[in-house]
A and B are shown apart, each in its own frame.
Chain A
Amino acid sequence: MLYTKENWGPVPSGWTRRRLLGLQELSSEELTILLDLADRFRKNVLDNPENARKISLLNGKAIVNLFFENSTRTRVSFGLAGRRLGADVIEFSAATSSLSKGETLVDTAQNILAMGVDAVVVRHGCPGAPRLLAQNLENCAVVNAGDGAHEHPTQGLLDVLTMRQRLGSLEGKTVAIVGDIAHSRVARSNVFALQKLGAKPIVCGPSTLVSPHWAELGVEYAYSLDEILPRVDVFNLLRIQLERQVVRPFPSLAEYAHLYAMNAERLARCKKDVLVLAPGPINRGVEITPEVADGPHSAILDQVTNGVAVRMAALWATLTAVAERRF
């Protein structure tokens, strides 16, 4: 069946936000609305030969990718998501912008707004920067594409979407997020989403990168990967964020890999249908070995496809909230 603007249907009325700044502030209902939309985009548009990956829900809309931090896949994924929906996508990166001339984030935002942009996708090294931007952008959708070590909501959504597609409900499932918890926005967005969907997250990594404060949020924390292997349904293996570390939290990457790399030997001690995710870019041989990354338990490339679907959902939902003045 061919899906078009006319037969696609509306954004569910439970969605009223023009900003997607993080998953912590979403209700489980809002989270489910986005996941269900993404599921539909994946099945009925991206994987549907009749639709040829396109649906013109956002014709005439202009989206700017405002990236103050390096990114390849997230930026491409957002760009593709916008274009698949028929929007125009403009690229803006800090290296080529006037930020080097001392212009503030707010000035930049207002300039972009004055050009007539409908949505801003922002990545920034500072936690809270997308919020600061959103406060200064009237009648504009804002989607956080990663703010420092705070949140990366579309990554969190695509991770749980991938889990949901493979496992059905996440209720009661144990999901271990392994790696540089302290510096990872992916860890935070995963934890918040998983808790809202009834799953049981464990944050696991070196004791210098895993704060006991997680327990106060009802999140189990663990230092030993080997100890938790047999009771975990999904592993999400994070990258070590060397660029965000102020001090070296462990002696060497080799020691880290020794303690935390998911390899064939460790995989053999996991549940036999265990699912392995990694947000990428993956460091083969550090957090994951090639035979696991490319093996049957890995959902890494599926995550990437789901990323486009999730971003289509986020852009369509937030832009609809603006167009219909739902907020």
Chain B
Amino acid sequence: MSNALLIQNGRVVDPAQNLDQIADLLIVDGKIAALGADAASQAPEDAVKIDATDKIVAPGLIDMHVHLREPGGEDAETVATGTLAALSGGFTSIACPPNTNPPIDSPATVALVRELAESARHCNVYPMCCISKGRKGEELAELGILFESGAVACSDDGSGIEDSELMRRALEYCLMFDKPILCHEESAPLAKGGVMHEGLVSTVLGLRGIPAEAEDVMVTRDLTLAESVGARVHIMHISTKGAVAAVRRAKARGVRVTAEVAPHHLTLTDEELRSFESNFKMNPPLRSREHVDACIAGLVDGTIDAIATDHAPHAPEKKDREINVAPFGIVGLESALPLAIETLVDSGLLTWSQLIEKMSLNPARILGIAKGTLAVGADADVVVIDPTLEWDFVESEMRSKSKNSPYLGRRMKGRAVATIVAGELRFDRR
């Protein structure tokens, strides 16, 4: 047995090599062995063959923002169920924020998540560690030890860091590790008690609003701090036109900033809240049309580097409640790809190569992991996508333990049909 996979006749899209053409791809022993004309001839006799005619063959998708909930939130998701949902959605690598219980602020917790991922043997998992001890925003976590133990980056996701001095010190401290700080940008006093975006709809519904400024002021502050310190900063789940504009200006000045946006901030507006359905409640909240348009424009012009789902599972007994008390967040791993295809590629806003850049290459670069390409010698993490497959997004199709999605019942177009991690066909929908 030679342990080889030959993916034939697919449209290979690999932005790292500036490649978009029909080609064969050969995988041997977990690595990309050959690409193009000589792939088939080099393939061993017993190589497993995958016919990718009319399919996209791309580096496995990378979601840099997935809440796996373990440890502490196993009623909503586990590392095993979350990583299976990732495979189902075409993702071969994910990064998970540290707002678990306990939070990931010790090497033991980093190790726990990594071991759970290894034993699940689905996709690659890169845990983030907290910026501050206990994610309390008071003192720095032991970042050096945490990075050494395998934390891919640091973040206090779930809360903003109110203390500007602590934020500046964290940025300075990370300079010596060359690790990015992933920022949840939210001013707690401005967002206090808020349930949805502050605007016309919140005014009509009598729901307390979270103003766009709660995000804008923190993004602006962190860009200022990152610029003066010379540090790398990454803006998580960007959602406002003000934040997009600030990142665009900062990039023009040469600030080392990157940004991600979630599919729901590209596809839904606060109008949805008129239903009072808690599956439209997330943080940052669904914004009004002008903000959604600004996020799309920012993604198209390169201001926003990555699409990340902010996959946030919640058990139904907690989520299916009155909107004031339901927790923030929705699942995203299994709807991200079709939503991105429909909103961005089918509409002509992005090419396939640009989409794969946003969903694989750029997240890999931001996280500093050697992924996101199909170059010969690279890890064989590959997704085969049927871009025209139509399917219904229903609960029974979901691998995530939680089903809290606002897209339930929607007809989708485009889906991952085979997901390969380290040369193994780990998810096969063909």
Contacts and interface: CB of A to CB of B under 8 A. Distances in A.
Contact of B206 (A105, A127, A246, A247): A127
Contact of B276 (A104, A132, A211, A213): A132
Interface in A1-34: 24
Nearest to A149: B206
Nearest to A185: B206
Contact of A128 (B200, B205, B317): B205
A213 B199 contact: yes
Contact of B317 (A104, A151, A183): A104
Interface string B257-273: 00000000000000000
A131 interface: yes
B261 to A, nearest CB: 25
A218 to B, nearest CB: 12
Nearest to A212: B203
A148 interface: yes
B321 to A, nearest CB: 6
A106 B192 CA distance: 27
Interface stretch (B70-78, B322-330, B373-381): B322-330
B192 A24 contact: no
B123 to A, nearest CB: 34
A211 B322 contact: no
Given A148-B206, A183-B206, 7 more contacts: A126-B323, A127-B323, A132-B321, A132-B322, A150-B207, A214-B203, A217-B200
B204 A127 contact: no
A86 interface: no
The DSSP consensus for interface residues of chain B is loop
Interface in A199-220: 211, 213-214, 216-217
A322 to B, nearest CB: 22
B209 to A, nearest CB: 9
B193 A246 contact: yes
Contacts of A83: none
Interface residues of B, number: 18
Interface in A114-164: 124-129, 131-132, 147-151
Interface of A: 24, 104-106, 124-129, 131-132, 147-151, 183, 185, 188, 211, 213-214, 216-217, 246-247
Nearest to A25: B274
B207 A127 contact: yes
Nearest to A152: B206
Contacts of B323: 126-128
Contacts of A125: 324
B193 to A, nearest CB: 4
Interface in B191-225: 192-193, 199-200, 203-208
B164 to A, nearest CB: 21
A151 B203 CA distance: 12
A216 B200 contact: yes
A246 B200 contact: no
25 contacts: A24-B204, A105-B321, A105-B322, A125-B324, A126-B322, A126-B323, A126-B324, A126-B325, A127-B206, A127-B324, A128-B276, A129-B322, A131-B276, A132-B322, A148-B206, A149-B206, A150-B205, A188-B204, A188-B206, A213-B199, A216-B200, A217-B204, A246-B192, A246-B193, A246-B208
